[in-house]
Amino acid sequence: MSPLTEKDRPIIQLLLSTGTCPRCVLRFCCVGSQMLYRHPHEELLKDLQKFLRNSHEEEGSVCLDVSNPPCKRLRLEPGEEGASDRNCNVAIPHLPGNICNVCLGVLQEFCEAGFVKKVCQKVNSADYQFISFVFSVSLPPQLSVRERAAWLGVKQNLGLPFPEDDIIQLKEAYKWIIHPQLSEELGVPADGKVFFSAFFFLRHILSLLFLVLDSLFYFTLQSVFTRMAVIKALEKIKEEDFLKHFPCPPSSPKNHCDALEIQCNNGAVFVAGRYNKYSRNLPQTPWIIDGERKLESSVEELISEHLMAQFKADSFNFSSSGREDVDVRTLGNGRPFAIELVNPHRIHFTTEEMRRLQQAINDSSDKIQVRDLQLVTRSAIGRMKEGEEEKTKTYSALIWTDKAIQREDITFLDDIKELKLDQKTPLRVLHRRPLAVRCRLIHTMRSEYIDEHHFRLHLKTQAGTYIKEFVHGDFGRTKPNIGSLLNRTADILELDVESVDVDWPPTLAD
């Protein structure tokens, strides 16, 4: 009981006599020693009672367990007189079975081994893989009111001017007690930074307390139950009004909190790779217009359905280094992508398991293929997005011309280097992009003659170049364009992405 001092005596006296649990008493004495809170409940109660008795017998002389010598000045303050009076009609012994009038049992039965066992059973039955955890608790809103009432009670009865902020927070004390126990039972450390968390919801039957508050704070029925509404109301109400309408410290409750439910949540994991798209009828992401699905599948769905099943995740978020139109294929080494798996149950995968997962994706569809599938960190995904703007892209386009062409008509395209384009925002994307003229570079071109009206053009371009518009000119809004260069009307029949030059994620050996 080392951290308690003489000035705590009246607080202990008052709170114990009104039915406060020993751990809440420690909180109101601003005891910051985590170890102390972990002592068994009964032991703490005995210690507190002993502390009171000792000083009573020794007529207010220095307490055995006091760490700091009592402050002389403090003893002369008027509050001390009152407190001494109270010492005489000693506290009603707090029975271990009583429900605490401040925490409603949170620091009592919800800290006991039995409850810890129950939580762990629940967590284990949810079947998660995790390497550390945090345990958070959602407390009934009325606890804020009881906390305030206890503080006002101490302040009022004892005339002690200590700030409300110095009291150890209920949640804080609860974590000090519960985390080591859960950690031992679950076999992993408690770690605020990461991954697995269990949320624990507590509820308390509405007592008269709320009816009083209701009339006092003009609560609407809906807002009564929310924590924010209670906290806001507490900020507004004057201390005198609060004292008038509510017993301070609060009266003993008939019921303790109910454990409503325990929710488990695992931190997201990220999987990256590259995909090829071999279909001209497959969008990258689900194509939905006005709530109506236009095409039945998408690249992200073909990949993620396998990941979702293996990682047993709730949902996913797909991102990639740029995208291709629905009618454009992506060949070569493919396009880098990353998928965030939200609340996965399974997070440990060996290289071999990832390889098998990749194989399963590839075996299930001939519209896409995936390579370099691997687990990555959240921060590494930034590398993929960095590359998006700067890197070059290589395309292959099948082009039609209205007037006949001969082999020699198109060879001059091969000699053009760093061709500067002025591209007005294409009409086909004007509904969702601002109107602007953008300068883009075609680094190189290589032509392949097919017949009098068709040829294939390989292009290496700056990221962000609209290739379709470069070919047909978009009403003369992209200048120059293949049509103007050949002095013909040109149109594009097929387009493929040959490579996306982003060197992430790392290439894996087969």
Partner 1 sequence: MLDAFTRIQLPLVGAAQPELPRSVGRWIQHSQGEIWFCALVFSAVTLLICVITLAEAHPLLQSGKTIKNINYQISANCSRLQNKVSGKSKRGAQFLTELAPLCRISSSDGEEYTIYSCIRGRLIEVNENILTNPALLQEKPSTEGYIAVVLPKFEESKSITQGLLTQKEYEEVLLKRRSSAS
Return residues touching partner 1 (CB under 8 A): 280-281, 283-284, 287, 289-290, 292, 294-295, 325-328, 400, 424, 426-435, 468, 472-473, 475-476, 489, 491-495
User: Cβ 423 to partner 1, closest distance in Å?
Assistant: 14
By CB under 5 A, tell whether 103 contacts Zn ion: yes
Kindly give, in sequence order, each residue whose CB lies less than 8 Å from that of residue 438, ignoring residues fewer than 6 positions away. 422, 423, 425, 464
Q: Which helix (H) or strand (E) holds 460?
A: strand 454-462
SS3 458: strand
Distance of alpha carbon 187 from its chain centroid, rounded? 24
Nearer to partner 1, 378 or 403 (CB): 403
Task: Residue 347: name its binding partner from partner 1, Zn ion, none (Cβ under 5 to 8 Å by kind).
Answer: none
User: Cβ 414 to partner 1, closest distance in Å?
Assistant: 24
User: Cβ 199 to Zn ion, closest distance in Å?
Assistant: 21
Nearer to partner 1, 249 or 283 (CB): 283
Nearer to partner 1, 198 or 471 (CB): 471
How many residues in total does the chain contain?
510
Nearer to partner 1, 412 or 475 (CB): 475
User: Cβ 493 to partner 1, closest distance in Å?
Assistant: 6
By CB under 5 A, tell whether 100 contacts Zn ion: yes
Strands 328-342 and 490-500, how do they pair?
parallel
Are the CB atoms for 349 and 290 separated by under 8 Å?
no
Task: Residue 289: name its binding partner from Zn ion, partner 1, none (Cβ under 5 to 8 Å by kind).
Answer: partner 1
* 101 DSSP assignment: T
Residue type, 397: A
User: Cβ 500 to partner 1, closest distance in Å?
Assistant: 17
Task: Residue 141: name its binding partner from partner 1, Zn ion, none (Cβ under 5 to 8 Å by kind).
Answer: none
Strand order across the 258-265 sheet: 133-138, 196-203, 258-265
In 126-279 the beta strands, taken as DSSP E runs, fall at 133-138, 196-203, 258-265, 269-277
Binding mask 258-287 for Zn ion (x = CB under 5 A): ------------------------------
Residues 24-63 that bind Zn ion (CB under 5 A): 24
Task: Residue 427: name its binding partner from partner 1, Zn ion, none (Cβ under 5 to 8 Å by kind).
Answer: partner 1
The CA distance from 149 to 170, in Å, is: 14
The CA distance from 212 to 223, in Å, is: 14
User: Applying CB under 5 A, which part among 20-28, 218-226, 488-496, 501-509 lies near Zn ion?
Assistant: 20-28
User: Cβ 397 to partner 1, closest distance in Å?
Assistant: 10
Q: Which of 65, 314, 325, 501 is catalytic?
A: 325
Task: Residue 412: name its binding partner from partner 1, Zn ion, none (Cβ under 5 to 8 Å by kind).
Answer: none
By CB under 5 A, tell whether 21 contacts Zn ion: yes
Strands 315-320 and 419-424, how do they pair?
unpaired
Nearer to partner 1, 346 or 479 (CB): 479
CA atoms within 13 A on the CB side of 176: 19
Nearer to partner 1, 108 or 330 (CB): 330
Task: Residue 463: name its binding partner from Zn ion, partner 1, none (Cβ under 5 to 8 Å by kind).
Answer: none
Respond yes or no: is residue 325 known to be catalytic. Answer: yes
* 14 DSSP assignment: H
Residue 8: name the closest of 167, 145, 148 by CA: 167
Task: Residue 403: name its binding partner from Zn ion, partner 1, none (Cβ under 5 to 8 Å by kind).
Answer: none
Is the peptide bond prior to 161 cis by the omega test (within 30 degrees of 0)? no
Residue 326: name the closest of 368, 262, 253, 277 by CA: 277
Task: Residue 77: name its binding partner from partner 1, Zn ion, none (Cβ under 5 to 8 Å by kind).
Answer: none
Binding mask 106-125 for Zn ion (x = CB under 5 A): -x------------------
Distance of alpha carbon 385 from its chain centroid, rounded? 21
User: Cβ 455 to partner 1, closest distance in Å?
Assistant: 15
By CB under 5 A, tell whether 150 contacts Zn ion: no
Total residues interacting with Zn ion, rule: CB under 5 A: 6
Q: How far is CA 223 from CA 74, 103, 214, 228, 230, in A?
A: 43, 22, 10, 8, 8
Nearer to partner 1, 63 or 328 (CB): 328
Residue type, 26: L
User: Cβ 174 to Zn ion, closest distance in Å?
Assistant: 10
User: Applying CB under 5 A, which part among 18-26, 57-65, 290-298, 313-321 lies near Zn ion?
Assistant: 18-26
Instruction: Write b or e for each residue in 247-282: b if 16 or more Cβ atoms lie within 10 A of its Cβ, otherwise e.
Output: ebbbbebeebbebeebebbbbbbbbbbbbbbebeeb
The CA distance from 223 to 218, in Å, is: 10
Binding residues (CB under 5 A) for Zn ion: these are 21, 24, 100, 102-103, 107
Q: Which residues are catalytic?
A: 325
